[in-house]
Amino acid sequence: MPLEAHIKEHPAYFHRFDALWTPTVLILDSNGEERYRNEGYLPKDEFRAQLELGLAREAFMNKNWSEAERRYGEVLDRYPNTKAAPEALYWKGVSHYKATNDHTVLGELAEQFKQKYSDSIWALKTLAWDH
């Protein structure tokens, strides 16, 4: 569900939601909790990928692990060459782990990061699982 908040029409919304810069995009869950924030312009594909990351994050934060894993997988499939992709790979694996409690998933994730996105900060976050 999309809400438009233009600074000239609804300046109070900027204060209400702590938007200090434009463009800012927020994704709130159905209870009104902020789950994602993006500030500043991005190229079209990077922006789309970020929005889909935001929807995946919303599912993750609501402990909807299967939906989160599916959404992160979609980011990877649709935008494999964006800056969002390594983050999506990381959280896809974590979502799977949260759903299954199968810790071998995390080691496999570390292996995957050796093959792809190895220079990302997300790869560094998997080093602890690399045995």
Partner 1 sequence: MLVQWKKDADEALAEAKAAKKPLLIDFSAAPA
Please give the residue ranges that form the binding site for partner 1 (CB under 8 A): 1-10, 13-14, 16-17, 19, 22-32, 35, 51, 54-55, 58
Is the Cβ of residue 31 or residue 101 nearer to partner 1 in the bound state?
31
CB of 38 to partner 1, least distance (A): 10
**Cβ at position 109, least distance to partner 1 in Å:** 26
Long-range contacts for 63-72 (Cβ within 8 Å, ≥24 apart)?
A: 63/98, 65/95, 65/96, 65/98, 65/99, 66/95, 66/99, 68/95, 69/95, 69/96, 69/99
**Min separation Cβ 3 and partner 1, Å:** 4
* Dihedral class, residue 91 (left if φ above 0, else alpha if ψ from -120 to 50, else beta): alpha
Q: Which is nearer to partner 1, 67 or 108 (CB)?
A: 67
For residues 1 and 128, which CB has a smaller minimum distance to partner 1 in the complex? 1
To the nearest whole angstrom, how small is the minimum distance from the Cβ of residue 93 to partner 1?
Answer: 23
For partner 1, give the closer residue by CB, 13 or 108.
13
Q: How far is CA 54 from the centre of its chain?
A: 5
The CA distance from 29 to 36, in Å, is: 9
